[in-house]
Structure 1
């Protein structure tokens, strides 16, 4: 199968895969020569138009020669003449330097002797020093010879830190309390209205953490209502001793034994044990499709009395009773004018009742429902 070269895309014939297939003069020969000719022409054009920039410290390029020996140019190169001039000047300077070096050697020897004397003085004062150290290093050590002053002691210095006083070096023992909260003792029996005394642990405090004291009785439920103590506020009502005694006495007066020692929950339970009068409810209702229907009572009605004023002028009274009263559900009527009997066919629920109005009379019905 024919392929192409990588750079000029020249067509190639593969003798292995193409076998004896016909050689295409146009694509395999003429087109290839055209591609070569075009590439060579482009190369000649590019070479003729190359623009080489002057050389610099950051790129290669054309370099100009110079005979100057005092130039600071970074784009020109020195000639041999310039190098010779510079060499002659350097040789003359070397002679001068050699003479100066002889003088300096003598001075250095004297300086070494003085350095040795200074090192000996430092060592005698307990300061480690050697002649291999620089003069600057030795002078820094001289400053440490100043005798310490002051009256600080180890307790005044943070633990692990070192300093000195009139008596010599000291190492601090003061605990560092920075970075953590810490429990504190509180002054039991020390009384000042509106103030709580805390005694923090000894040590250094950086002002970012807290010292505290624990007391299990410091809870909002131990405060009077709406009283705030050190930022903790009681929002709910709290029964004081006198009030609790009054509740206990009132409950006992209703026949249920109670005392101030009972918890509030127990007192509430005992209030629920107090027997009160029977519940009742009254109302006026318009019949619906021949029935009086009442719901939403807070008790189970057992006896219901009725009084009806019908739209046609007739009147009626009646009653009905739950089976718990007489053993079965009963309805009775009395004292009525004309027709329209009340109280028949009653039914009872946990919060209401239903009874019929004979002949589907219209008008208002007043009722009284009672517990049994």
Structure 2
């Protein structure tokens, strides 16, 4: 059996996870779409295992998005862990449906899966982080074994689906007997343990958040530069003046420009939903200065990476804050949003 470079610490307790990750490593250079699909499957397998381990209620036909966004799951999981899972889910779905994929995305997402694996190993197998390998990308010469991988993945999926059907019924019976107060207490205790391990491992969501925003803009056909480099459509860490700081200077996380190089939108990223609201206020100050400087008021986006809000605060035809997505229409920057 081929060994994984980065995930062998999982094999004794989670052999299916180790195998899926090993397949993702094998394809990372030669077939990035397949690699991302494997990482998405790895994430789903991990999430379903966590549901079983923590005895969380779930619908029998719940998909990965439903499971990850359920209150019982988000209430017990650190935000940094959920964000990494969501990055793997989003990119895996995009790869599975023929979406735009950059080869370098596969590299950082493989590392995100590795960090999730370390967290799982330390938290639930009581492992020592020193026993985990230092992350490394597979060599470019690594070959693939697609037919064997397909048979293995089909077997893993069939086994897991059968197990899920049985355990879903068992959990439904158990949860009928468990009072809501006890469930809340148990989730709070699990949250504390999960966050403690994430803190020990210094697992942070800032880099994941930035890459998620980049990838969402790229998927909408915005030309986003790598490593904070600017393009004609998107500038990052854009300097703005007349801000309530000691120097009067500030920096907008992203400014999106139209074809006339007028500011179309300003994007501010913050850590949590609470801080995202702070981001709305901060972004409005940026929009004020951009309007004064360029004669066009940009709409305001603020986001924590996976939740995105849009606020068009134009005095005559604006709208209140709403959940939103980015997209391009007929080759020109456009925005679509729906009220939350």
Give yes or no for TM over 0.5: no
TM-score interval, smaller chain: under 0.3
Quick check: which has more Rg, 1 or 2? 1
Higher relative contact order (CA 8 A, sep 6+): 2
